[in-house]
Structure 1
């Protein structure tokens, strides 16, 4: 009887435990060159997207640009996220623009959200992460 009670308690404890944080793997396609780096950020904060550097809890990384680019965010808690990518071809840490508006470097967003007179809205790029391993593909786009 005691073994049954202990097993039942262990089962309840396991059910009450929060979902384990998972990994989000992003395959970046269509880079026009291997110059520079790809800057990536992933946030749950709608009000600051795509500038998730303003979110101290965001996931951010920089990887070398190349023919095949894979980005991994580990320890990702379940939630609703959006991802923004920048192909920083000259590796100067910012999104270079022509005429003050048009991006000169590549960009991409989760769900391949489209750009129209500015970055997409969070709701167009948002995806749900359930805490398990998840694979996404994002196409790099270039305006110029």
Structure 2
């Protein structure tokens, strides 16, 4: 009687299991610091390309979170693997937008992933991007 070798079966089983682990979506934890006042809400948005970055109709993932402290953790679950940039607005007056002065300069606090500041215009996607390729991704974004 022929005996079945368990190695091919074991190899296939491990291959399928490891694929499932690699293809898992991530939990992204964003620690937000520099919130000036405990009022209003945070508008948090994920973008996945230079063309979509900071365009309201091109957001991939988003959340509106009431401000409960001067530092906060915001969690996003089930984020697909990829390259993203995050932008955050402290919407102090709850109007669901970024308030600017007559010169177009923000009067509400903002921040982006990698904490890239651009004093003459918005930061670029390439300066703000990060790779989401593990089950847990931790970011810290300081508002300014």
Compute the TM-score of the two structures, normalised by the length of structure 1. Answer: 0.88
Is the counterpart of residue 95 in structure 1 residue 98 in structure 2?
yes
Query: Which of 86, 91, 108 is the equivalent residue of 1:105?
Result: 108
Unmatched segments (≥5 aa) in structure 2 = none
Is the counterpart of residue 11 in structure 1 residue 14 in structure 2?
yes
C-alpha displacement at 1:81, in angstroms? 0.6
Unmatched segments (≥5 aa) in structure 1 = none
Is the counterpart of residue 54 in structure 1 residue 47 in structure 2?
no
Q: Distance in 1 between matches of 2:62 and 2:33?
A: 19
Q: Is the CA contact (8 Å cut-off) linking 2:112 and 2:128 kept in structure 1?
A: yes
Q: Distance in 2 between matches of 1:131 and 1:74?
A: 12
Q: CA RMSD in A?
A: 1.6
Q: Is the CA contact (8 Å cut-off) linking 1:29 and 1:68 kept in structure 2?
A: yes
Q: Distance in 1 between matches of 2:28 and 2:78?
A: 9
Q: 1:33-84, CA deviations, whole angstroms, 9 ceiling, x for partnerless residues?
A: 0110010001212202122x3226x110011112231111111111111000
Q: In the comparison of the two structures, how many residue pairs are matched?
A: 139
Query: Which of 109, 112, 133 is the equivalent residue of 2:136?
Result: 133
Q: Distance in 1 between matches of 2:103 and 2:64?
A: 24
Q: Distance in 2 between matches of 1:131 and 1:77?
A: 10
Q: Distance in 1 between matches of 2:126 and 2:133?
A: 17
C-alpha displacement at 1:89, in angstroms? 0.1
Q: Distance in 1 between matches of 2:18 and 2:34?
A: 43
Q: Is the CA contact (8 Å cut-off) linking 1:42 and 1:84 kept in structure 2?
A: yes
C-alpha displacement at 1:88, in angstroms? 0.2
Is the counterpart of residue 42 in structure 1 residue 46 in structure 2?
yes
Q: Which has the larger radius of gyration?
A: 2
Q: Distance in 2 between matches of 1:102 and 1:35?
A: 21
